[in-house]
Structure formats: structure tokens, C-alpha cells
Amino acid sequence: MTRIYVDADACPVKDEIYRVAARHAVAVSVVAGNFIRVPNDPLIERIAAGAGMDAADDWIAERAATGDIVITADIPLAARCVKAGAAVIAPNGKPFTEESIGMTLAVRNLMTDLRSSGEVTGGPRSFSPRDRSAFLSSLDQTIRRIQRAQQT
């Protein structure tokens, strides 16, 4: 049974996830460090993973498996979940795959090193309506692909 795991602390597309999940009758685990408000729906589970630095990430990574979907912008978490066989999508709709995650992680680590040495590298671009639309399309396609694979 497919489950969507949401790295919820800074996720800008939670409402979109709830709508798409309801349309496909897919369960959702909304995971945050502390309490987070979620709709009152039997398909949506709220998880307060604890205040530890990576508590929510660890909770998701320990459970995500083949057939599941993880929504996160956290590249190290994405790498762990891809390795476990889960489909991973960033809030802007970009999928993290086995082919892309190595380079994505390397660039992230390089940028972290540059910032820690005092380089001004700028941040990510602003989240846009186009990103929201790309996310909706990507999530819908991913659910359909997984459901087709589970039927065969």
C-alpha cells in the first residue's frame, strides 16, 4: 500500500498533497519535529517526531520503502529515501532519482562548504506558482505510475 511521507516543517505544498492524496485514496504521514496542524481526515496521520536535529528526517527514512512517496527539499533525506527505493519529489516538482541524487548531493555539499568558508552564494530561488503546478503534475504522475506497477 502506497503512503506519502511529507517532510512537513518547511513544506509549501501540504494542501496540494492532501488534495491529490484524497483523489487517489493514498494515506499521508505528515512528519514534523513538533506539533503541526493537519486536516481531520482518516487518510492523514500527524507525526511529531521530536525536537532532535534530524528527528523528522530519521523517522521518514526509517519507514520509506519501495512503493512509497517522500516529499522533501532536504537533499540528504532524499538520498536516504531514494536508496531505500522510495519515489522522492521536491516541492517544486523535481524528482530525485538514483541517476540524479549523487550529483545533487555533491553540489549541495560543495555549496555548504563554500558558504561555511565565507563565500556569498545566494539562496534558492523563490517558490512560484509554476513550481506549485509542476509539483501537482509530478505527484499525480508518480502516484499513477506506482499504482500501475502494483497492479501488475
Looking up residue 21, the CATH number of its domain turns out to be 3.40.50
Per-residue pLDDT tens digits for 31-84: 999 889 999 999 999 999 988 889 999 999 999 999 999 999 998 999 999 999
What's the mean pLDDT in 79-102?
90
Residue 71, C-alpha cell as written in the block: 516529499
pLDDT score of 139 more than 90:
yes
> What percent of the chain is modeled with pLDDT above 70?
86
Q: What sections of 31-90 are H helices per DSSP?
A: 55-63, 75-83
- Model confidence band, residue 122 (pLDDT cutoffs 50, 70, 90): low
Name the helix (H) or strand (E) containing 7: strand 3-7
Residue 114, C-alpha cell as written in the block: 563554500
Q: What is the gyration radius of the CA atoms in the chain, in angstroms?
A: 15
- Model confidence band, residue 98 (pLDDT cutoffs 50, 70, 90): confident
- The pTM of the full predicted model, rounded to 2 decimals, is 0.86
Mean pLDDT of the residues in the chain:
90
Residue 117: per-residue pLDDT? 76
What's the mean pLDDT in 107-120?
68
- Model confidence band, residue 120 (pLDDT cutoffs 50, 70, 90): low
Name the helix (H) or strand (E) containing 107: helix 98-116
pLDDT score of 104 more than 90:
no
**Number of compact structural domains in the chain:** 1
Per-residue pLDDT tens digits for 12-28: 999 999 999 999 999 99
Residue 110: per-residue pLDDT? 65
What's the mean pLDDT in 93-110?
76
| Domain limits for position 60 | 3-151
Question: Using CA atoms, how far apart are residues 26 and 35, in angstroms rounded to an integer?
Answer: 22
